[in-house]
Structure 1
Amino acid sequence: MSLSLSLRRLAAVLVLPLAAAACASLPPPVAQALPADVLLLGEQHDVAAHQERHRETVAGLAAQGRLAALALEMAEVGRSTAGLQRDASEAAVREALRWNDEGWPWQAYGPAVMAAVRAGVPVLGANLPRKDMRGAMVDAGLDGRLPEAELAAQRQAIRDGHCGLLPQAQIAPMARIQIARDIAMARTLAQAARPGRTVVLLAGSGHVDEQLGVPRHLPSALRWRAIRWPADPGQPARDYCAQLREQMPPRR
């Protein structure tokens, strides 16, 4: 075998992994948003197409070696898969994250989570722990974390999100919980950021709002991009307010 032929074959072997990474599929909005230190993906929680885009994004960035970490609204701060091996079972991953399947169906989010684990990338809980929520509700200092106009908009979003069914006295405390959650997610992202790679957050659409949500609390040095997936036109409209009225107890 000639030296030139051997060199060409060696070059082909070295190029194959690079080509595979380059061809890794990313949803077009994600590809257009990169490069970024932090990528915030905002979903509607019951739209399966949104979770499929999560999986595509995580798998694509992991294949390219560009995924620093996957952060989740669906798990609390302090939960992590960092101590697990790539071949960890789904049961072990769920245990590490203290996964609540009633709130967050594993079949919806498991594919994105496991894509990160299989790539050796840590999955991090980013949401405010439940034990801290009561404290957040009475922490008036959280009101000052948003400018006055944005705070009013956040409170209105809480009213609208609960279909006008919340008593007025609960609006400010619920808005504080939302702000505290956004702060917790922003801190998790900042701590996980790595030069030249991207931390991905999966969260509800409201949390990635550029004016009211997580971006408001990120360090200015981080380059971030937020994508709010559009509604799925193929999914029939649901009357969320009717469902909420059935779930909420009547006012007294």
Structure 2
Amino acid sequence: MTEWVSGRVSAVRHWSDKLFSLRVEADLAPYQAGQFTRLALWLPAADGGQERVAHAYSFVNPPGVGYHEFYIVLIPDGRLTPHLQQLQPGASVWLARQASGFLTLAELPAGRDLWMLSTGTAIGPFLSLLAEGGLAERYAQLVLAHGVRLGQELNYRDEITQLQARWPNRLHYVPFVTREVWPEGLAGRIPAAIEQGTLERHVGLPFSVEHSRFVLCGNPQMVKETQLALQQRGFRKHLRREAGEICMENYW
């Protein structure tokens, strides 16, 4: 049974009319970078009473910083996100005390180059992993690709710039924008860039079964198509019982 703890919203960041971040203070059990917990609010139920409505969200922050940050997209007809979007500093929110998830450093396959391929708010766990610092100890080259529809959805740019300053010439950031021309990064979708070799050429780092490891996190269609594109290049899904090169996590 889920153990819930009360948290207090300490900061809200509205990136756009649909994207926002909540920073929450709460006494949670220790967790690892890349994991997620559940946020919840008590909301009116159909029977006239109240019910706890919850959804899972990844931590954007590294562990041990004194707050918990979540990057959220508004679902206009959803039960929870319209209410989360309206929260102000000082508001109360419930969190599952125990975090979950296997998108952690311990679960990633060893290799030389790590390609982190994300869409939308699924960049969050990668930012947590990068800020924690363990990735830079394990991998020589780090690539963070982020696919969005519009350039204004390429958020957390200041944080990414700071991370690149920590590891110059080792952390490569590649934004993908699908619905408008954007002056930086690549047009189109991540799976197509893998099929066409565009992503490798842009970074200047060729794929190889020996050196390349991939972590996919985003909408299920991107994850499925990217996995297929990589498998066609000779890469295999990474399992505990059988080492491979591809890890993945659907983001809803």
TM-score, with length taken from structure 1: 0.32
Structure with the greater relative contact order (CA < 8 A, sep ≥ 6): 1 or 2?
A: 1
Larger radius of gyration: 1
TM-score, with length taken from structure 2: 0.32
Indicate the structure with greater strand content: 2
Indicate the structure with greater helix content: 1
